Structure 1
Amino acid sequence: MAIIEVSGVSKSYAGRAALSDVALTVHADEIFGIMGPNGAGKTTLVEIIEGLRAADSGRVRVLGMDPRTERRRLNESLGVQLQNTELPDNLKVREALQLYASFYRSPADWPAVMATWGLTEFSDARVGRLSGGQKQRLVIALALVGDPLLVVLDELTTGLDPSARRETLSLVRRVRDNGVTVLLISHFMDEIEALCDRVAVLSRGRVLAVDTPAALAERVEERTLDTAFDKLTGGGGE
């Protein structure tokens, strides 16, 4: 079953192409990665998928819906973790989950979500006093409290120490294991290799390849996705 269908999508800003004829399909119950150098068009593509931005041309369907014209209905089944999720330092963990749950008509049971993600003992802790790993657990819990079928995780581990990164990667696997399709935007090659069933490589607004991380490396006769990425994008990294 296709969860995301993008076909022939293009987008320009002031005459400059951000996306050119982009096409990809994300299937149910997979972790699908999007990676590319700075300026590759990742943010524009994800915002179009989320319904935050309109494409100039092409077709987009997310869970069978048009994200622009059916955005309100789509939001009931879509969880989003933004690259810079900022919560008030004085907000308590339970207050954050209660607040986010109130945004949905049929949310998950927020105390159960809090327990699932190991946050119950921190329920009265203020966000500003959480560790990096604890904050990421909260961010994921907030993205899931609406009981979504699809969750978008954008640069989830940026700025985390190695221990918190390992914990967060484990949490992402648990999201998928709980039956939620994951769209993961990342510039960490090891993260993509460890988590993603398939990955799309973007460069200069175009999709260069869509395949498993291992197959992408084999395609350009490299042992690792890191060096394969450099070859695919002409040496451009993030």
Structure 2
Amino acid sequence: MRDPAMLQDLLDNAWVDAPVFSLRPDYRAVLLAVDGLVPGPSDEDSEALLQMAEASARKALDGRPVEDLPHVAAWREAYKSFGAKPQRTRNSLEALLRRTASGLPRVNRLTDVYNAVSVLHQVPLGGEDLAGYIGVPRLVRATGVEPFDTTAGGTEVVEHPEPGEVVWCDDGGVTCRRWNWRQGRRTQLGEDTTTALFILDALQPMTDEALAAAANDLAGRLSRLGPDVRTARRRIAAAATSQEGN
């Protein structure tokens, strides 16, 4: 079990590069580091939560296309700002919302929780296994040489981001490409994950209050995944950086 101070120290040293804020000055992130999780497969609680998220998505999408939802539209514009084509590389929120008609994926109870919270609050939300991390997380515009370990056609491969692409990374390379599009293998959550990092990404028109509500919901639900769950939190924004531990 990690000391809560260690979790907070990890978040305190995380950063977002200034060129990212130059693209989108309205960008904000909440980072949530969690330890003491008890891993396990999907269960009745995660199934009920996913069904709630699916019902919420059906209501939000009644009579309108996914791309017209305000936060989805904002992320499509953000992708265009660094040269990505949102029709081909959809942000994680849009990708999940498009799956709700046929059913959200059932992976394991940890992944189920954060996918459901993403849909319920309409916010891109990524989860990483901190056991695979090397150094601290940071969001940067890539040089194009950073390694990204992934799979293609069922084969393990190492790819590289496009120069200028917005990526989350650590000292070992890219952990998530195109801001919140695709996560790498090295830090992916699994059924043995006990310590994790979650990143909630917001653009206008999502308010600070709505972002905080999503983070609070996630933290509350994660706290039920073990008797000794501990969390640390930090909010990062362009004008000011603040943090809060709990």
Q: Say yes or no: TM over 0.5.
A: no
Q: TM-score, normalised by structure 1?
A: 0.27
Q: Which has the higher contact order (CA 8 A, sep 6+)?
A: 2
Q: TM-score, normalised by structure 2?
A: 0.26
Larger Rg: 1
